[in-house]
Amino acid sequence: MLNIFVKEAKIILVSVDYRLAPENPLPTAYDDSWEALKWVASHISGEKNATEIWLREFVDFNKVYLAGDSAGANISHHMAIRAGLENPGPTEFKISGVLMIQPYFWGEDPIGVEAENPVFKSVVDKWWRFVCPSDKGCDDPLINPFVVGAPSLSGLACDKILVCVAGNDILRERGRFYYQSLVKSGWKGKTEFFETEGEDHIFHILDPTCENSNNLIKVSAKFINSE
């Protein structure tokens, strides 16, 4: 899927192999992702560990995008928030946008269709508690960016965000709510929303060549290449 996306968007992509839970409980994945972002930025000044020739010679660091699906979309959100507090690199390093595909956000209280399936809701609840040893449960700010104490969306360090959801995905309500909350948050950037009807979570990975996956990839590529 990533190869298809890279070809369509004509971009250089860095895929972060962050350490996984439960062997490495959260926030390890967030910390690894931040270190990866700093490593990418280190290629601007040619630091000792900046050894990737593709990044040194072919990247425009004024047009960096964070992207991910499911947990990766969640992590992209938190990286953009953290970048608003501390720049991961020199001033030439600029996060232009964030692409969030079927973002994995959740909460203790159900919203929308989540309330119609309490059994499935409890399963998703347990997923989070399994990977994140937090006394806040599913209202930890890492999984619920709208609880008291979570960083304001107005602090996102990018110019635009595209939120994509799948019409049959249990997480779709959270993606819609994120988009709606972002619009109302006072954030100065451009917000876009795209929904694929009739598909479930990470359908584009399970079948990257189907028509709906192709459409999602084209929308994502257009988002990255538009001003």
**Cβ neighbours of residue 110 under 8 Å, at least 6 residues apart?**
118, 121
The catalytic residue among 70, 96, 134, 181 is 70
Q: Annotated catalytic residue: which of 77, 78, 201, 204?
A: 201
Distance CA 79, CA 33 (A): 8
- Structure token digits, residue 77: 């959100």
Q: Which two tokens stand for residue 178?
A: 């994120």
Contact status, residue 214 vs residue 1, Cβ threshold 8 Å: no
> Of 193, 200, 207, which Cα lies nearest the Cα of 166?
200
169 an active-site residue?
Answer: yes
DSSP secondary structure letter of residue 18: P
**Cis ω for the linkage preceding 27 (within 30 of 0):** yes
- Choosing from 42, 140, 169, 220, the catalytic residue is 169
Q: Phi/psi of residue 80, each to 5°?
A: -65, -35
Q: Is 201 a catalytic residue?
A: yes
Q: Where in the sequence numbering do the catalytic residues fall? A: 70, 169, 201
